Chains A and B, each alone.
Chain A
Amino acid sequence: MDRDRPPLRAARAAAAALPALFLALFFAYPLATILERGLWEDGLPLDLLGSRSTLEIVWFTVWQAAASTALTLLLGLPLAWVIARFAFSGRALVRSLVLVPFVLPTTVVAAAFLAVLPAGAERGIGPILAAHVFFNVAVVVRVVGSWWGRIEGGVWEAAATLGAGPVRRFTAVTLPLLRPALGAAASLVFLFSFTSFGVILILGGPTRPTLETEIYNQAARLFDLQAAAGLSLLQLTAIALVLAVAGRLERRAGVVVAVAPEGEILRRPRGAERVVVPAVLLSFGLALALPPLALVERSLSTPTGYGLDLFRLLGEETAALLVPPWHAVVNSLLFAGAATALALLVGGLAAAAIARSGALWLDTLVMLPLGASAVMLGFGFVLAFDDPPLDLRGSPWLVPVAQALVAAPFVVRIVAPALRAIDESLREAAAVLGASPARVWREIDAPIVLRALGVAAGFAFAISLGEFGATVFIAQSDWPTVPVAIFRFLGRPGAVNAGLAAALGVVLMALTVATVLVADRVTSVRRGAL
């Protein structure tokens, strides 16, 4: 703005520089360290990268992601349709509940699927695909549903009077109109499944490695840092490729088809829909509720019926952890609190700079940690901050820093649109009515900013609570978080270990759901992303 005085401009530059500096140090530097290690120091492990087992890993990574995407779209479409087009009581609640699986920590979902699937069938490709669908149905419902809900109903009627039956209307009208949304949802689900870590590590077992789990395997179990660095490069290339293809799809499908404002064309089901709509809602309700319920059931199971024995055991020493399991709960809350504060600071400043000046470079920079995988981030931390000049080994700060990196993109995605939405004419009106700049900020900006920050804080906290891929690399063994503790318990045989994992899973699930629902309900601001 032209009325900016030099000191103000300097302060603004500093505010934009801080997030950039943070990302350079804690994101770019660790990645650069991986590159350096993989490419120059030890040389590319070409024999490993070209080996048959690596090819098999790449192949499995790609096809499980493709299969997860196809299944999620196929199964998610009926639910997206029902929620987008029909008025029924409890619709808003259903819309919120569908989001719950998406925010559940991966380790909790994996533990839940172990609890719900029959013994002997709980590991393998089937459970992996089922868990990925469970997670990502929300993506289809929100991304595709919001498009579907805006298509003006006249186009189907027009198609009908032009002779198109129900099938033809779906293939010749609905699908083409939804294509951009389908592409966007498919890209997201593919990316999430491609970089899926906790689910595959736990449900896949040792015989089903993907690039992501193999990086962890090589680095953390076999201590072959060169192999891990080489695989990371492969993973980075693959992700860049996926993002490039997704971006290309998005550009090509840039037709605006949304005509009606969302929610304006909801109608009550009629005819056969009166059976189909409840049937869809009921079957999805059951399918999505079953794994969490099974987890709760397992956590309450004792040899002598139901009780709270397992939760009592959380206070006692175990063989799997160096500390009593309840420490993990405290650690998680502390780390997540610190990570949320950091993410709000970094993401909030970045959002302010982006909203004010449209700083595209900063926008892209902040989003990058989403593209790179969490495992790679954790591995990069291990490599980069292990020796001088930055020997942060043993520093408890590394965990919240890594979690903040994962959460910051969400903060930006929530806060920046809210800032941009503040109407300049409102500010001017207030100023003309005699409000001082401080008063203008308090009356106009503050309520909107605070609400957006509240939602962002909720999401950042939930994401940090459940973060697993990076945390499992860098958490000290006497400072485990809940996801790490769940993973350790699930890695050990015996019903008690499985039960303790379930009990911790229930605690983490309750914390996560409570956080998100509070953030979603208390602050009824419209979110930009998802």
Chain B
Amino acid sequence: MTLRVDAVSVSLGGADVLDRVELDVGESERLAVLGPSGSGKSTLLRTIAGLVRPAAGRVLLGGEDITGVPPHRRGIGLMHQEGALFLHHDVAGNVAFGLGVAGVPRAERERRTHELLDLVGLPGFEARLIGELSGGERQRVGLARALAPRPRVLLLDEPLGSLDRPLRERLVQELDELFERLRLTVVHVTHDVAEAFAIGNRVALMRAGRIVQQGAPDDLWARPASEWSAAFLGQTNVREVDGRRVVIRPEAVRLAAGDDGVVLSAQRRGPAVSLRVQLDTGEVLESVTTVLQPPAAGQRVRVEIDPAGVADLAPR
């Protein structure tokens, strides 16, 4: 199902939270909306779900204007950050809630609940109480519950935000594979760059109520449109070249034995090592390498820059 957000503006308590936002999500496409907290990405999601009324603009689902349709008639699934599970039901009761509302017969309800719990990796959890579940299990139940009524579009609001890092990374992978298999139309909101890049076929970067850039993860990484975009994605090597401002991706900054500057710090992050180097000109550059024994802090190095890793920035 295609989803279109057409010039939507929202103001809450007098402040403009969304400013003429335009978005298109194609059939079976997965859009990640990425932005810092307060950028309006959650409000965008809640507007699509019908929980927030836009002051202007339209929301179209499959070409049909649903701006005035209340949330319970939209057929859009939403997975909350904290899960928002029903503590008065067990796991099966949560997953089957939407099916019960839709009047699905009991036997079919049970079959589908079983199937969904299998799908999210919680087989046999039907009778468990919500209070007994771990954070990761809760989010899986929330996902199964949102998927149960076969929503036309699935919205995820920072679904992994409250989980610790290893669990988050594992679930990101699982979500990616699951969405791929189900061919779902997904809008996934997050402030985490890695998560957005992993889940989204396309990433929309949001800042202060506006979409400032969108594109495939690789394109976004290769060509951040502005200094702000670059910084948010984690690219800090900005310098002036012939009167133009450019950004140098950290992996394009290569270090070798030599005498251009000194290593300030070197931190291993899994397969890669992240280094900060101070050139003798005073400029500090960030570099990422996958070599096993990178230069250590205090060591003097030569710095080479791969021209393919340099992108022009629009004036801020």
Chain A interface (Cβ < 8 Å from any Cβ of B): 152, 154-155, 157-165, 168, 172-173, 176-177, 179, 255-257, 259, 268, 271
Q: Which residue on B lies nearest to A165, using beta carbons?
A: B72
Complex CA–CA separation, A160 to B86 (angstroms): 13
- The answer to whether B86 and A157 have CB atoms under 8 Å apart is no
User: Which residues from A are CB-within-8-Å of B250?
Assistant: none
Q: Which residue on B lies nearest to A156, using beta carbons?
A: B84
Complex CA–CA separation, A59 to B82 (angstroms): 50
Given A168-B101, A256-B131, A161 and B87 contact (CB-CB distance below 8 Å): no
Give the distance to chain B from A108, nearest Cβ to Cβ, in Å.
40
Given A157-B80, A161-B72, A257 and B98 contact (CB-CB distance below 8 Å): no
User: Which residues from B are CB-within-8-Å of A168?
Assistant: 72, 101
Complex CA–CA separation, A165 to B103 (angstroms): 13
**Interface class of chain A by DSSP:** helix
Chain B interface (Cβ < 8 Å from any Cβ of A): 13, 46, 49-51, 53, 70-78, 80, 82-88, 97-98, 100-102, 131, 145-146, 148-149, 151, 155
User: Which residues from B are CB-within-8-Å of A158?
Assistant: 78, 80, 84-86, 145
Choose among A161, A179, A257 the residue that contacts B71 (Cβ–Cβ < 8 A).
Answer: A161
Give the distance to chain A from B104, nearest Cβ to Cβ, in Å.
11
Choose among B83, B98, B155 the residue that contacts A163 (Cβ–Cβ < 8 A).
Answer: B98
Name which of A157, A162, A268 has the most chain B CB atoms within 10 A of its CB: A162
Given contacts A157-B80, A164-B101, 8 further A-B contacts (CB under 8 A): A152-B82, A155-B86, A157-B71, A161-B76, A161-B77, A163-B101, A257-B87, A257-B88
Given A168-B101, A179-B88, A160 and B70 contact (CB-CB distance below 8 Å): yes
Complex CA–CA separation, A256 to B73 (angstroms): 31
Q: Which residue on A lies nearest to B148, using beta carbons?
A: A162
Complex CA–CA separation, A168 to B102 (angstroms): 11
Choose among A160, A179, A256, A257 the residue that contacts B72 (Cβ–Cβ < 8 A).
Answer: A160
Choose among B74, B75, B88 the residue that contacts A177 (Cβ–Cβ < 8 A).
Answer: B88
Can you show 19 pairs from A to B with CB atoms below 8 A apart?
A152-B84, A154-B82, A154-B83, A155-B84, A155-B86, A157-B46, A158-B86, A158-B145, A160-B50, A161-B77, A161-B78, A161-B151, A161-B155, A163-B75, A164-B101, A172-B101, A255-B87, A259-B87, A271-B53
User: Which residues from B are CB-within-8-Å of A256?
Assistant: 87, 131
Q: Which residue on B lies nearest to A153, using beta carbons?
A: B84
Complex CA–CA separation, A268 to B53 (angstroms): 15
Complex CA–CA separation, A173 to B86 (angstroms): 8
- The answer to whether A255 and B88 have CB atoms under 8 Å apart is yes
User: Which residues from B are CB-within-8-Å of A163?
Assistant: 72-73, 75, 98, 101-102, 149
Give the distance to chain A from B237, nearest Cβ to Cβ, in Å.
41
Give the distance to chain A from B118, nearest Cβ to Cβ, in Å.
20
User: Which residues from B are CB-within-8-Å of A164?
Assistant: 72, 97-98, 101
Q: Which residue on A lies nearest to B87, using beta carbons?
A: A257
Choose among A162, A177, A179, A271 the residue that contacts B149 (Cβ–Cβ < 8 A).
Answer: A162
Complex CA–CA separation, A255 to B86 (angstroms): 11
User: Which residues from B are CB-within-8-Å of A259?
Assistant: 87
- The answer to whether B84 and A157 have CB atoms under 8 Å apart is yes
For the A-B complex, the count of residue pairs with Cβ-Cβ distances under 8 Å equals 87
Complex CA–CA separation, A249 to B155 (angstroms): 39
Give the distance to chain B from A264, nearest Cβ to Cβ, in Å.
13
Complex CA–CA separation, A370 to B293 (angstroms): 77
Ranked nearest first, the 4 interchain pairs of A and B with the lowest CB-CB distance are A154-B84, A162-B98, A160-B71, A161-B78
User: Which residues from B are CB-within-8-Å of A176?
Assistant: 86, 88
Complex CA–CA separation, A157 to B76 (angstroms): 12
Complex CA–CA separation, A255 to B88 (angstroms): 7
Given A157-B84, A179-B88, A162 and B101 contact (CB-CB distance below 8 Å): yes
Given A160-B72, A163-B101, A154 and B131 contact (CB-CB distance below 8 Å): no
Complex CA–CA separation, A164 to B98 (angstroms): 7
Q: Which residue on A lies nearest to B97, using beta carbons?
A: A162
Given A176-B88, A256-B131, A161 and B97 contact (CB-CB distance below 8 Å): no
Q: Which residue on A lies nearest to B78, using beta carbons?
A: A161
Complex CA–CA separation, A259 to B82 (angstroms): 11
Complex CA–CA separation, A256 to B75 (angstroms): 30
Q: Which residue on A lies nearest to B88, using beta carbons?
A: A176
Complex CA–CA separation, A271 to B84 (angstroms): 24
Give the distance to chain B from A206, nearest Cβ to Cβ, in Å.
47
User: Which residues from B are CB-within-8-Å of A177?
Assistant: 86-88
User: Which residues from A are CB-within-8-Å of B84?
Assistant: 152, 154-155, 157-158
Q: Which residue on A lies nearest to B98, using beta carbons?
A: A162
- The answer to whether B51 and A157 have CB atoms under 8 Å apart is yes
- The answer to whether B74 and A161 have CB atoms under 8 Å apart is yes
- The answer to whether B87 and A159 have CB atoms under 8 Å apart is no
Q: Which residue on B lies nearest to A176, using beta carbons?
A: B88
Complex CA–CA separation, A257 to B149 (angstroms): 25
Give the distance to chain A from B52, nearest Cβ to Cβ, in Å.
10
Name which of A159, A160, A163, A268 has the most chain B CB atoms within 10 A of its CB: A163
Name which of B13, B80, B83, B155 has the most chain A CB atoms within 10 A of its CB: B80
Give the distance to chain A from B53, nearest Cβ to Cβ, in Å.
8
Choose among A157, A172, A257 the residue that contacts B78 (Cβ–Cβ < 8 A).
Answer: A157
- The answer to whether A161 and B88 have CB atoms under 8 Å apart is no
Give the distance to chain A from B164, nearest Cβ to Cβ, in Å.
20
Complex CA–CA separation, A163 to B78 (angstroms): 11
User: Which residues from A are CB-within-8-Å of B51?
Assistant: 157, 160-161
Complex CA–CA separation, A173 to B78 (angstroms): 17
- The answer to whether A172 and B97 have CB atoms under 8 Å apart is yes
Give the distance to chain A from B151, nearest Cβ to Cβ, in Å.
8
Complex CA–CA separation, A19 to B260 (angstroms): 85
- The answer to whether B87 and A165 have CB atoms under 8 Å apart is no
Given A152-B82, A154-B80, A255-B87, A165 and B70 contact (CB-CB distance below 8 Å): yes
Complex CA–CA separation, A256 to B74 (angstroms): 31
Complex CA–CA separation, A165 to B98 (angstroms): 11
Complex CA–CA separation, A173 to B100 (angstroms): 13
Give the distance to chain B from A121, nearest Cβ to Cβ, in Å.
43
Give the distance to chain A from B47, nearest Cβ to Cβ, in Å.
13
User: Which residues from A are CB-within-8-Å of B74?
Assistant: 161
User: Which residues from A are CB-within-8-Å of B98?
Assistant: 162-164
Give the distance to chain A from B141, nearest Cβ to Cβ, in Å.
11
Q: Which residue on A lies nearest to B103, using beta carbons?
A: A163
Give the distance to chain B from A351, nearest Cβ to Cβ, in Å.
32
Give the distance to chain B from A152, nearest Cβ to Cβ, in Å.
7
Q: Which residue on B lies nearest to A155, using beta carbons?
A: B84
User: Which residues from B are CB-within-8-Å of A179?
Assistant: 88
Complex CA–CA separation, A155 to B149 (angstroms): 17
User: Which residues from A are CB-within-8-Å of B13?
Assistant: 268
Complex CA–CA separation, A271 to B85 (angstroms): 26
- The answer to whether A161 and B82 have CB atoms under 8 Å apart is no
Q: Which residue on B lies nearest to A268, using beta carbons?
A: B13
User: Which residues from A are CB-within-8-Å of B82?
Assistant: 152, 154
Complex CA–CA separation, A155 to B83 (angstroms): 9
Give the distance to chain B from A399, nearest Cβ to Cβ, in Å.
48
Give the distance to chain B from A170, nearest Cβ to Cβ, in Å.
13
Q: Which residue on A lies nearest to B49, using beta carbons?
A: A161
Complex CA–CA separation, A163 to B80 (angstroms): 16
Name which of B51, B86, B100 has the most chain A CB atoms within 10 A of its CB: B86
Give the distance to chain B from A354, nearest Cβ to Cβ, in Å.
29
Complex CA–CA separation, A268 to B88 (angstroms): 27
Q: Which residue on B lies nearest to A154, using beta carbons?
A: B84
Give the distance to chain A from B46, nearest Cβ to Cβ, in Å.
8
User: Which residues from A are CB-within-8-Å of B73?
Assistant: 163, 165
Give the distance to chain A from B310, nearest Cβ to Cβ, in Å.
45
Complex CA–CA separation, A160 to B145 (angstroms): 12
User: Which residues from A are CB-within-8-Å of B149?
Assistant: 162-163
Q: Which residue on B lies nearest to A253, using beta carbons?
A: B88
Complex CA–CA separation, A176 to B89 (angstroms): 9
